[in-house]
Amino acid sequence: MEYVDAFYVGLINILPFSAQGQSSFLFMLLGVAIGFVVGILPGLGGATTLALMLPFIYKMDPTTAFAFLLGSNAVTATTGDITSVLFGVPGEGITAATIVDGHPMAKKGEAGRALGAALMSSLVGAVFGAFALALAIPLVKPLVLSIGAPEFFMLAIVGITFVASLSGSNITKGLTAGAFGLALSTIGLDPIESVPRFTLEPILGEGGGLFLWDGVALVAVTVGLFAIPEIVELAVMEGSIAKEKVGKLGGVMQGVKDTFIHWKLVLRCSAIGAYIGLLPGLGGGPAQWISYAHAVQSSPDKERFGKGAIEGVLGPGAANNSKEGGALVPTIAFGVPGSVSMAILLGAFIIQGIVPGPDLLDPGKYLPLTFSFVWIIVVSNIITVAVCFLFLNQIAKITFVKGTYLIPFLLLLVYLGGFAVKNSFGDMAMVILFGALGWLMVRFDWQRPPLLIGLVLGNIAESNLFIASKIYGMSWLLRPGVIIIILIIAGALLYPLYQTWRERQKKMAAGTEGAQSASPQTTEEITTSSRFFHSLFALFFVVVFAYVMREIFFGFGADEDRASLFPLIIGVPGLALASWTFGKDVFTTTRVVTGGEEPAVGDVEIEPVVARKRMISIISWVFGFFFSIWFLGFIWSSVVATFLYLKVGSRENWFMSIFLTALSWLFFGGLFDRMLHLPFPEGQLFIWLGY
Partner 1 sequence: MKKGTLYLFSLAVVFAFLASASTTALAAEFYKGKTIRFVVGYSPGGGYDTYTRAAARHIGRFIPGNPTPIVQNMTGGGSLIAANYIYNRAKPDGLTVGIWNGGLILQSALGERKARFKGDKFGWIGAPVKGLPACAIMGFTGLKTLEDVLKSGKRLKMGATRAGSTTDDLPKILNKTMGTNFDVISGYRGTATIRIAMQKREIDGACWGWESMGVTARAMLDAKGDDKLIPYIIQGKDNSPEVRDLPQVTSVIKGADNLSTFNAWMATYQFQRPISSPPGTPKSRLNILRKAYAAVMKDPTFLAEAKKSKLIINYVSGPQIEKYVSQILNTPAKAKEALSFLVRKKKKK
Interface residue list for partner 1 (CB under 8 A)? 47-48, 50-52, 54-55, 58, 144-145, 148-149, 189-196, 206-207, 210-211, 213-214, 280-281, 330, 334-337, 340, 343-344, 346-347, 350-351, 353, 355-358, 422-424, 462-464, 466-467, 470-471, 558-559, 677, 679
Please state the closest distance from residue 145 (CB atom) to partner 1, in A.
5
Please identify, using beta-carbon distances, which residue of 424 and 637 lies nearer to partner 1: 424
Please state the closest distance from residue 607 (CB atom) to partner 1, in A.
47
Please identify, using beta-carbon distances, which residue of 281 and 583 lies nearer to partner 1: 281
Q: Which residues contact 521 (CB under 8 A, 6 or more apart)?
A: 304, 307
Half-sphere exposure of 397 (CA within 13 A, CB side): 5
Please identify, using beta-carbon distances, which residue of 196 and 286 lies nearer to partner 1: 196
Please state the closest distance from residue 217 (CB atom) to partner 1, in A.
10
Please state the closest distance from residue 458 (CB atom) to partner 1, in A.
13
Please identify, using beta-carbon distances, which residue of 93 and 251 lies nearer to partner 1: 93
Other Cβ atoms closer than 10 A to 306: 19
3-state SS string for 437-493? HHHHHHHCCCCCHHHHHHHHHHHHHHHHHHHHHHHHHHHHHHCHHHHHHHHHHHHHH
Angstrom distances, CA of residue 566 to CA of 424, 473, 562, 570: 28, 17, 8, 6
Please state the closest distance from residue 359 (CB atom) to partner 1, in A.
8
Other Cβ atoms closer than 10 A to 575: 20
Please state the closest distance from residue 602 (CB atom) to partner 1, in A.
41
* Dihedral sign (CA 111, 113, 118, 122): positive
Please identify, using beta-carbon distances, which residue of 10 and 196 lies nearer to partner 1: 196
Angstrom distances, CA of residue 642 to CA of 626, 650, 651: 12, 11, 12
Please identify, using beta-carbon distances, which residue of 651 and 677 lies nearer to partner 1: 677
Please identify, using beta-carbon distances, which residue of 352 and 617 lies nearer to partner 1: 352
Please identify, using beta-carbon distances, which residue of 214 and 238 lies nearer to partner 1: 214
Please identify, using beta-carbon distances, which residue of 211 and 645 lies nearer to partner 1: 211
Q: State how beta strands 188-189 and 196-197 pair.
A: antiparallel
Please state the closest distance from residue 161 (CB atom) to partner 1, in A.
23
Please state the closest distance from residue 151 (CB atom) to partner 1, in A.
10
Please state the closest distance from residue 674 (CB atom) to partner 1, in A.
11
Other Cβ atoms closer than 10 A to 100: 29
List helix spans (H) across 149-301.
Answer: 149-166, 171-185, 201-212, 218-222, 228-237, 252-261, 263-278, 285-297
Torsion of CA 571, 573, 577, 582, to 10 degrees: 40
Q: Which helix (H) or strand (E) covers residue 197, if one does?
A: strand 196-197
Q: If you write DSSP's letter for every residue of 220-246 in order, what string do you get?
A: HHHIIIIIHHHHHHHHHH-SBS--S--
Q: Are 366 and 305 in contact (CB under 8 A)?
A: no
Please identify, using beta-carbon distances, which residue of 48 and 384 lies nearer to partner 1: 48
Distance CA 116, CA 110 (A): 10
Rama region for 536: left / alpha / beta (φ>0; ψ in -120 to 50; rest): alpha
Please state the closest distance from residue 575 (CB atom) to partner 1, in A.
25
Look at residues 421, 114, 162, 189 and name the one whose alpha carbon lies nearest to residue 276. 162
Please identify, using beta-carbon distances, which residue of 133 and 406 lies nearer to partner 1: 133
Please state the closest distance from residue 235 (CB atom) to partner 1, in A.
33
Q: Are 523 and 600 in contact (CB under 8 A)?
A: yes
Please state the closest distance from residue 48 (CB atom) to partner 1, in A.
5
* Dihedral sign (CA 411, 415, 416, 421): positive
Other Cβ atoms closer than 10 A to 580: 16
Residue type (1 letter), 667: F
Please state the closest distance from residue 480 (CB atom) to partner 1, in A.
14
Please identify, using beta-carbon distances, which residue of 330 and 408 lies nearer to partner 1: 330
Please identify, using beta-carbon distances, which residue of 332 and 549 lies nearer to partner 1: 332
Please state the closest distance from residue 370 (CB atom) to partner 1, in A.
14
Q: If you write DSSP's letter for every residue of 65-119 in order, what string do you get?
A: HHHHHHHHHHHHHHHHHHHHHHHSS-SSGGGTHHHHHHHHHHHTT-HHHHHHHHH
Rama region for 241: left / alpha / beta (φ>0; ψ in -120 to 50; rest): alpha
Q: Are 343 and 350 in contact (CB under 8 A)?
A: no
State residue 188 phi and psi, 5-degree precision: 105, -170
Please state the closest distance from residue 191 (CB atom) to partner 1, in A.
5
Please state the closest distance from residue 559 (CB atom) to partner 1, in A.
5
Please state the closest distance from residue 585 (CB atom) to partner 1, in A.
38
Please identify, using beta-carbon distances, which residue of 236 and 344 lies nearer to partner 1: 344
Please identify, using beta-carbon distances, which residue of 105 and 416 lies nearer to partner 1: 416
Q: Are 417 and 410 in contact (CB under 8 A)?
A: no
Please identify, using beta-carbon distances, which residue of 373 and 566 lies nearer to partner 1: 566
Distance CA 150, CA 12 (A): 42
Please identify, using beta-carbon distances, which residue of 347 and 583 lies nearer to partner 1: 347
Q: Which residues contact 553 (CB under 8 A, 6 or more apart)?
A: none
Q: Are 127 and 317 in contact (CB under 8 A)?
A: no
